[in-house]
Structure formats: structure tokens, C-alpha cells
Amino acid sequence: MNILHISAECFPIAKVGGLADVVGALPKYQKEFVTTSNVVMPFYNNKFTQSNTFEKVYENFIALGHEYYNFKILKLNNNQLGFDLFCVDVPCLIFKEYVYSNDDTERFLAFQIAALDWILTLDEKPDVIHTHDHHTGLIPFMMSNSFKYETLKEIPTILTIHNAQYQGWFSHEKVNLIPPFNFDNVGLIDWGGNINSLATAIKCAWKVTTVSPSYMEELKIKANGLEDLLNHESAKCVGILNGIDSKVWNPETDDRLIKNFSTKTVLSGKKGNKEWLCKEFNLDSKKPLFAFIGRLVGEKGADLFPEIFKKALAENDISILLLGSGHKETEEKLTSMPKENFNTFIGYDEKLAHIIYAGADFLLMPSRVEPCGLNQMYSLRYGTVPVVNAIGGLKDTIVDIENKNGFGIRHNGVTVDNVTKAITRASEFYSEEKEFKKNLKRIMSINHSWNNSAQEYVTLYKSLKE
């Protein structure tokens, strides 16, 4: 069985969030169960593509409305990723550094059309095409409705929703950018009077998955306008929990860390990373260190961080370190807070993120929406206790210490009070030294590797070929 993933992001080539981590890991793990599982993504002009070599495997022109653009399919040389990576290079449109911008409609349409044009020419077609989020959401529609892709109609398609907030809306005035199709079916691309790429994929993909079972249930109640559609299509929807790439995220071998460690050496290992962090960010390494890593947006509860941190620091003997970027107002409020037991790094830094997972004592995730969340799984693997709002994937992966076999801290709902109370509970847990240290070894041993979930996806693919 040959699987082809089509995605806007893939780690380590281009990463904005969890989508990249999933697409960079899942194919690798699926290869144990299928013949090939490869990835197609846009070609970005970034550090990775500049420092690696590619071979041109196809070249042609795509039509985007009345305009024609030259495109190439470039295959990454040397199999360093554990799967084949194909990049769609449309120099006039996609050849830029950033992943997302304000001309996404044209860029991602060009990407999707070029990918399908190339697939049309392949002698051996994929058995299943797996699309991810709205950036690739028109593919299931085009495959089943655009005249030029008639021969791809029988290939099953899957959509995985990593985040339903962003849906790839655009006006019907741009409908001519989509390769010609039977206009009787124009209703399939419409949702609420606009073309909606994510809604289109939910209607047209053969199966729809979300990145955790709880997120699927939550979307039926709150999905930025897609609730009715998801309820209507629920028979073909299923939640499959993401895994983590335990080859990349391994504290024993992670070369980004200051000090590597295993469950046996967790105490000294974490101490080495924590001391480095505290020196770097002027914090007291004797206090429990709470950290946040992520996008500073409302979904992550970031608008409340200044108030939460102020209250939590006043009521507890702790330090807080934040790594992230996002809303400018939140960034400014956070950077202007007194640097007393508190510090921030505004920006994106993969190495620092790894050191924080390893050196912090607690990871804060007061998310209002969390489709799966990978950070809590990375933090478990690196012996850092997650403090989470019980929502989406956080609800599916974290059990509160109050419960039998509990190992993390959960709160219900994101308010300043709820989160600070959870932080207080966490710091009390930290002072129960013996229990706390025992818990570190336990959380490191929880298996969140991709093996199980990769197999679940393969079972789903097989069900479509029966």
C-alpha cells in the first residue's frame, strides 16, 4: 500500500506548529505497516532547503485561472527523513521563506493543483491520499469533481483536522482559480456564502480524522461555524490521538540538550539543564520552574498570561520562563513585566524549546482549545509535569494526581483563578520531594510514541480499499 501525505508543513523542513511535527513523524512510523508513506509539501526558500540538495523529477505549467505558472517537483536527495519528500516549487508564488502569509489562497491553490497535476502523470498512483488541514482541503473536491482529475476519482482521500479554527475561506469571485468542474456541484465548496476549504474537505474526503478523540467530540459543539457540518458527517469522522517522534524527542540522545539523561539519571540530567536555563535567564534554580512554550494566541490562553503570572508569582515561591511569539499586545505586556523570578524569550527557538522541556519542573498549558497538543507529551518524556486545562488532547493524555495513577495537574476552565490555583497545587506537589521525584521517572516511561496511532491510521486506510 502506498500512502501520500500532502501538507503545508513538515518537520524539519518548515515548521510553524504541531502540524509539522505530525507530518514529519507519521510517515516514518507508518512505513512499518505499508510499502511507502511519502510527503508532498510546498518548496519554501528557507534554511533547510538552502542547505540540502534536491533532484528535479517533474516540470510543467499549471493554470491558475487565466494565468500560467511554471512549476517543478523537487525530490530531496539522500533519505535522511525516513521517507521520500517531494516539494512543489512554483517560483512566482511559493518560493518564499515564510509558510503562511496574506496571499495564501493563490499560493496554496497553486500548490494543490501542481501536486495533483504531477500525481496524474505517475505510473504508480498512491493508494490513499492523506490531506492535512485547510491548506490541502480542496484536493478531495478537485479529485472527485474537476474534469481534468477524472482518473484520480477512485483514490480514497483522508482529511486530518489539526486545527479547525483556520478554514481557508475565500470569495466565490475566485472560483475560476479552481480547475473547471461540474457547476451543479458548486455547493460542495460553499459554506456560509464563501468558499471554505476545510468545510469542502469535510464534505468530500472519504474519511475525516481529528488529532484526538476528545477534539472530535468538542468540534461537534464548537468548531468556528462548522458544528452542523461535523454532526452531519459524523459517520465518517474519527479521532486518532497523535503520537510523538520518540526518535527525535529522546532525552538520552537529544543533541540540543545541555545534559542528556535517562529515567535512571533524570535528577542530575534535569538539574544540568535547569541550571543552564536559570543562569541564562537570571532565575533561581532552587525554586520550582514553570515554563510555557508556544504561540501567544487566545487559543493557548495567552491573553491571560500577564495576570496569571503576576498572581502566581505573588502567591507562590516559584519562577516562570516563557518561550513564544504571537499577539503583539501580549508580547509587549509580557516583556514589560518585572524580571523578578520571571523571564521571556519572544521568538521561535527549537533548541531552547528542547532545553526547556528538559530543564523545567512544570509545563503550563492553559489552552482554551487544544486539538491534541504535543507539548504535554514532550514534557512527559523529558520528566516535566504538565499543568493543563482539561480540554481536547490534554484531557485524553493527562490524568490529575488526585486520581488513581495520576501524574499531572489538571484544571477545568481557563480563568486567572483556576490557573493560579493549579500552579499552587503544582508547587505543593513539588515540595513533596519523594513523591515528586518518583513521579518524574513514571512520566518519562509513559509511551506516547507514534507506533499505535500510525497503525490506527493504516487500519483506516485499509478499510477504504476493501
**Distance in Å, CB of 350 to ligand ADP, minimum:** 5
**Distance in Å, CB of 171 to ligand ADP, minimum:** 27
- Residues in 240-299 that interact with ligand ADP by CB under 6 A: 293-295
- 254 — alpha (psi -120 to 50), left (phi > 0) or beta? beta
Stretch that binds ligand ADP, among 57-65, 95-103, 214-222, 370-378 (CB under 6 A): 370-378
Contact 378, 243 (CB under 8 A): no
- How far is residue 90's CA from residue 72's CA, in Å, rounded to a whole number? 7
**Distance in Å, CB of 414 to ligand ADP, minimum:** 15
**Distance in Å, CB of 255 to ligand ADP, minimum:** 16
Question: Does residue number 323 form part of the binding site for ligand ADP (CB under 6 A)?
Answer: yes
Q: State the residue for C-alpha cell 480524522.
A: 209
Question: Does residue number 349 form part of the binding site for ligand ADP (CB under 6 A)?
Answer: yes
Among 42, 156, 269, 373, binds ligand ADP (CB under 6 A): 373
- How far is residue 182's CA from residue 201's CA, in Å, rounded to a whole number? 17
**Distance in Å, CB of 409 to ligand ADP, minimum:** 17
Question: Does residue number 95 form part of the binding site for ligand ADP (CB under 6 A)?
Answer: no
Nearer to ligand ADP, 246 or 265 (CB): 246
- How far is residue 228's CA from residue 238's CA, in Å, rounded to a whole number? 16
Alpha helices in 206-304 (DSSP H): 213-219, 227-232, 266-280
Question: Does residue number 353 form part of the binding site for ligand ADP (CB under 6 A)?
Answer: yes
CA dihedral 206, 211, 214, 220 (to 10 degrees): -40
- 208 — alpha (psi -120 to 50), left (phi > 0) or beta? beta
Contact 52, 87 (CB under 8 A): no
Question: Does residue number 18 form part of the binding site for ligand ADP (CB under 6 A)?
Answer: yes
Stretch that binds ligand ADP, among 14-22, 57-65, 252-260, 426-434 (CB under 6 A): 14-22
Nearer to ligand ADP, 18 or 179 (CB): 18
CA 150 to chain CA centroid, Å, is 32
Nearer to ligand ADP, 22 or 88 (CB): 22
Q: State the residue for C-alpha cell 468530500.
A: 204
Question: Does residue number 327 form part of the binding site for ligand ADP (CB under 6 A)?
Answer: no
CA 92 to chain CA centroid, Å, is 27
User: Could you list the residues that contact ligand ADP (CB under 6 A)?
Assistant: 17-18, 21, 293-295, 323-325, 348-350, 353, 372-375
